[in-house]
Amino acid sequence: MRKNLPYLAFVVFLLCFDQATKWLVARQIPLFSSRTVIPGFFNITHIRNKGAIFGFFSHTGSRFVFLALIVASLVALALVVFYFIRTPAAERAMKLALALILAGALGNQIDRVGRGYVIDFLDFFVRNRHWPFFNVADSCITIGAILLLIMFLVRKPACSQSSSESAR
């Protein structure tokens, strides 16, 4: 358990940072209003997302979709916690990736259950294309998922020397 404390502290830090940024945006920027940070590239825009990451399913207005998102998030949280606990302490990159995903999932779940929506505010444009609104929690989930993907792509197959020789 002691070996997990730095990761759990990191989860708490990210969760607090996520909630603090959402609180500041909700308090300082009126709903659907923007503050330009870098003209033509980055704004902070206060929106309410009743859907999933990057606004998926946000326009359905369905109570079923809302409840399904809560249940799916709880199942995902349980799986992440399960894998986090089962991952050996020596696999630091895996622990880090799971901690990022856990922090992000918790941050958005707190909003979804507590408010009925998630506050999104990071608003990027690349040339004339608008990237979907997102928040710190979404960033944590995305970075954690990318780390997992990289680890799975570069991981060597668990094929032993004797099994490869017997295949010849």
Catalytic residues: 120, 138
Closest Cα to residue 56, out of 47, 64, 43, 65? 65
Distance CA 73, CA 52 (A): 9
Amino acid at 167: A
Q: What is the DSSP letter of 5?
A: H
Distance CA 147, CA 31 (A): 33
Instruction: Transcribe 53-104 into DSSP letters.
Output: GGGTTTT---HHHHHHHHHHHHHHHHHHHHHHHHS-TT-HHHHHHHHHHHHH
Q: Report the SS3 class of residue 122.
A: strand
